[in-house]
Amino acid sequence: MNTKDKFYYFDNNATTRIAPEVLEAMMPFLTDFWGNPSSAYGFGEKINQYIVKAREQLAALINAEPENIVFTSCGTESNNTAFHTALNSNPKKRHVLTTAVEHSTNIAHGKHLQRQGYQITFLPVEPDGSLDLCLLTDSIREDTAIVSVMWANNETGVVLPIEEIAAICRVRGVPFHTDAVQVAGKIPIDVQTNQVDFLSLSSHKLYAPKGTGILYIKPGTPFSPYLFGGGQEKGRRGGTENVAGIVGFGKAAEMALADIGDHSEDRKLRDKLESGLMSAIPGTVRNGAKEPRLPNTSYLAFEGVEAEAMLIGLDQLGICVSAGSACKTGAIEPSHVLTAMGIKSALAKSSIRFSLGRYNREEEVDFLLEKVPEVVKKIRAASPQTRLKELGI
Ligand SMILES: *Cc1c(COP(=O)(O)O)cnc(C)c1O
């Protein structure tokens, strides 16, 4: 693909464009400031100061103290570390309680742990993507090492009641982890009101490059490292720091905090797209609750339209969207999120996620409102059912 061609990027839950301000902040660390932040001489120490600053910027975004932020290589590593540390800090406890709608990082890690003899509960969700908190409470066991529930779902955008879940876990004395990757920059995060023990974020969902994450660790929570090495991150995560990535992530966090507001503009644009498509295309249903939901996400099922055919048709027009989670694209299987919500397979396979971001403009939404109905019509007209109906069969 030639990136100079006009394209319409509506897949911001998969990744985001690098903000020019972020790139600018990073550049010195890809050119002149290439030293090792652990080095004892001034050249190293100077670079280390920028990691200190980035840690403060990320701490500010979630209202934490900087010393409780550990830099990792991605959201996946942060999520994996939370499970790892809980199971290793308390080896007698061999049960993990999570949900069936988590990002594939938790699902795949949970399945791996099952093969290793751990017990993992993947809690089902309601048809609208919400979680039954009574069921969650009843599912916490004596041997539960950790509860992990994502703050907002990457496919549906449905926001889960993290403050309540954290309170339940606190009362039961079980560490609680939340994957907040999709939340950063979209709704405020405050670890003082939402007393989570662990929280994961990823750089590339927040207008910084891929390859950096954080794990917030509440003070006093037992921690056992996942990566051992040269004592970086106060011994909590070995490996020479991705300095440029960390600096960029810090800048992205600063920008997200400055712009947190109520996102009413984003919501307006998303709602224009969603209600426009739903009224223009008969047989369109929204997956997941209308609220509480991320302001940028709309996950729609177009009855009788294979998502793969949609992706191809839209791609030809330069429209980038996703059929569920990025990792599932190209696979025939329905999304595990929709399956867990009890959505019928045919409808799940007809689902397209539109996720907006900072750089989407109203003209782009207008373009989609014009083109998406045409693509749906074309695919429906070409479907065997239509032909059978025309033949009166
Ligand atoms: C993208 C994503 C991740 C993984 O983050 P990476 O940095 O790509 O490893 C984890 N959880 C959610 C909800 C995500 O959207």
CATH number for the domain including 275? 3.90.1150.10
Q: Check whether residue 219 and residue 272 sit in a common domain.
A: no
pLDDT confidence of residue 95? 98
pLDDT confidence of residue 296? 97
Q: Check whether residue 255 and residue 271 sit in a common domain.
A: no
Q: Check whether residue 341 and residue 233 sit in a common domain.
A: no
Q: How many domains does the chain contain in total?
A: 2
Q: Check whether residue 284 and residue 385 sit in a common domain.
A: yes
Q: Check whether residue 193 and residue 133 sit in a common domain.
A: yes
The CA 131 to ligand 1 mean position distance, Å, reads 20
Which of 181, 199, 336 to mutate for ligand 1's pocket (most ligand atoms within 8 Å of CB)? 181
The CA 239 to ligand 1 mean position distance, Å, reads 20
In a domain, 1, yes or no: no
CA–CA gap between residue 1 and residue 10 (Å, rounded): 16
Give yes or no for residue 40 having a pLDDT over 60: yes
Q: Which domain holds residue 148?
A: 20-259
Give the count of alpha carbons within 13 A of 312, CB side only. Answer: 7
pTM over 0.85: yes
Domain end position, chosen among 259, 284, 319: 259
Q: Are 354 and 311 in contact (CB under 8 A)?
A: no
In a domain, 178, yes or no: yes
Contacts of 327 (CB under 8 A, 6+ apart): 104
The CA 177 to ligand 1 mean position distance, Å, reads 14
Q: Check whether residue 325 and residue 365 sit in a common domain.
A: yes
Q: Which atom of ligand 1 is nearest to the CA of 73?
A: 7
CA–CA gap between residue 176 and residue 170 (Å, rounded): 8
Domain end position, chosen among 259, 277, 301: 259
Give yes or no for residue 163 having a pLDDT over 60: yes
Give yes or no for residue 306 having a pLDDT over 80: yes
In a domain, 376, yes or no: yes
Q: Which residue type sits at 141?
A: R
Which of 78, 154, 205 to mutate for ligand 1's pocket (most ligand atoms within 8 Å of CB)? 205
pLDDT confidence of residue 6? 87
Q: Check whether residue 88 and residue 195 sit in a common domain.
A: yes
Q: Check whether residue 247 and residue 273 sit in a common domain.
A: no
The CA 105 to ligand 1 mean position distance, Å, reads 7
Q: Check whether residue 288 and residue 248 sit in a common domain.
A: no
Ligand 1 and 154: CB distance under 6 A: yes
Mean of the pLDDT values across residues 31-55? 97
Contacts of 192 (CB under 8 A, 6+ apart): 63
CA–CA gap between residue 98 and residue 121 (Å, rounded): 6
Give yes or no for residue 262 having a pLDDT over 80: no
In a domain, 148, yes or no: yes
Ligand 1 and 186: CB distance under 6 A: no
Mean model confidence pLDDT for the chain = 95
pLDDT in tens, 185-226: 999 999 999 999 999 999 999 999 999 999 999 999 999 999
Give which of 31, 74, 22 is closest to 247, Cα–Cα.
22
Domain end position, chosen among 227, 259, 291: 259
pLDDT confidence of residue 300? 98
Mean of the pLDDT values across residues 160-171? 98
Nearest CA to ligand 1 atom 5: 75
